[in-house]
């Protein structure tokens, strides 16, 4: 049984795809198949938008803190589906916030400036990982190569014109306090929030 929608820490997660242009050295997919009893997040095939909508109909969205696009892959590989499903959620229950967790490489994945597509989404959370472009490439092994880090920052700066909450994050204990200060500075420059996530 493949899992498309799953509840995790009070939120409802949408697992749209297993595709991703990165092969992060720390990717959870390397060591597990699911999140807290979600069922396997490896998809036999990608769910259609109608299947996701039908799945959402079976949930009382007001019970969840947020609907989050995030799973075993990079959600912006299916940006059109995110847009359509978000519109559907907002038509049915405008009070439930929608977040996208992303590696921030949407522009490279889709071959254009995609920031405006995120209008209507409440929050975008981007993995910054490190303040250093070379280290970023070493960690993410992005197939787009050395331009990836700057493309991610450009996307973050652009998407904040459309999305109220844009956050760049690193993981606690994985970089030095000095590096965290450089990350905070990058975020101040972009006008987005910096968050240090707990180590999982
Ligand atoms: S961007 Fe996310 S899904 Fe893709 S390899 Fe990195 S951690 Fe895994």
pLDDT in the model for residue 2: 84
CA–CA gap between residue 25 and residue 41 (Å, rounded): 19
Residue with tokens 């359509």: 84
Token pair of 161, please? 């014109």
Give tens-digit pLDDT for 135-192.
999 999 999 999 999 999 999 999 999 999 999 999 999 999 999 999 999 999 999 9
CA–CA gap between residue 100 and residue 120 (Å, rounded): 11
What mean pLDDT do residues 98-112 have?
A: 98
Nearest CA to ligand 1 atom 3: 73
CA–CA gap between residue 6 and residue 37 (Å, rounded): 9
Q: Which atom of ligand 1 is nearest the CA belonging to 22?
A: 5
Token pair of 105, please? 């490489």
Among candidate residues 166, 22, 45, the one with its CA nearest the CA of residue 101: 166
What mean pLDDT do residues 27-45 have?
A: 91
pLDDT in the model for residue 128: 98
Span from the CA of 91 to the centroid of ligand 1 (angstroms):
30
Alpha-helical regions (H) of 99-146? 106-110, 133-140
27 in ligand 1 pocket by Cβ < 6 Å? yes
CA–CA gap between residue 186 and residue 65 (Å, rounded): 29
pLDDT at 5 > cutoff 90: yes
Span from the CA of 129 to the centroid of ligand 1 (angstroms):
11
pLDDT in the model for residue 1: 76
pLDDT in the model for residue 119: 98
What mean pLDDT do residues 101-105 have?
A: 98
Q: Which helix (H) or strand (E) holds 137?
A: helix 133-140
Residue with tokens 């803190």: 65
pTM: 0.96
pLDDT at 200 > cutoff 80: no
131 in ligand 1 pocket by Cβ < 6 Å? no
What mean pLDDT do residues 21-43 have?
A: 91
pLDDT at 44 > cutoff 90: yes
Q: Which of 13, 18, 21, 24 has most ligand 1 atoms within 8 Å of its beta carbon, as the pocket-test mutant?
A: 24
pLDDT in the model for residue 51: 97
141 in ligand 1 pocket by Cβ < 6 Å? no
For the chain, domain boundaries: 5-197
pLDDT in the model for residue 37: 86
35 in ligand 1 pocket by Cβ < 6 Å? no
Q: How many CB atoms lie within 10 A of CB 155?
A: 25
Give tens-digit pLDDT for 56-93.
999 999 999 999 999 899 999 999 999 999 999 999 99
Q: Which atom of ligand 1 is nearest the CA belonging to 127?
A: 1
CA–CA gap between residue 194 and residue 200 (Å, rounded): 18
Token pair of 10, please? 């009070």
Give tens-digit pLDDT for 117-132.
999 999 999 999 999 9
Q: Check if the beta carbon of residue 99 is closer than 8 Å to that of residue 121.
A: yes
CA–CA gap between residue 183 and residue 131 (Å, rounded): 5
Q: How many CB atoms lie within 10 A of CB 40?
A: 14
Token pair of 74, please? 């990079």
- For domain 5-197, give its CATH number from 3.20.20.70, 3.40.50.1100, 3.20.20.210, 1.10.580.10: 3.20.20.70
- Polymer length in residues for the chain: 200
């Amino acid at each position: 049984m493949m899992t498309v929608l799953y509840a995790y820490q009070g939120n409802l997660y949408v697992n749209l795809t297993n595709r991703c242009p990165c092969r992060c050295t720390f990717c959870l997919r390397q060591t597990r198949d699911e999140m807290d009893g979600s069922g396997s997040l490896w998809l036999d095939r990608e769910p259609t938008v109608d299947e996701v909508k039908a799945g959402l109909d079976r949930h009382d969205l007001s019970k969840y803190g947020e609907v989050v696009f995030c799973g075993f892959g990079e959600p912006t590989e299916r940006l059109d589906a995110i847009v359509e499903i978000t519109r559907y959620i907002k038509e049915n229950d405008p009070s439930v916030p929608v977040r996208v967790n992303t590696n921030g490489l949407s522009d490279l994945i889709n071959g254009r400036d995609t920031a405006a597509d995120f209008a209507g989404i409440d929050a975008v959370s981007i993995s910054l990982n490190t303040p250093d472009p070379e280290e970023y490439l070493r960690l993410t092994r992005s197939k787009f190569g050395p331009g990836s880090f700057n493309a991610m920052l450009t996307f973050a700066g652009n998407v904040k014109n459309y999305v109220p909450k844009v956050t760049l994050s690193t993981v606690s204990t994985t970089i030095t306090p000095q590096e965290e200060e450089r990350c905070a500075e990058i975020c101040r420059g972009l006008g987005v929030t910096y968050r240090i996530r707990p180590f999982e």
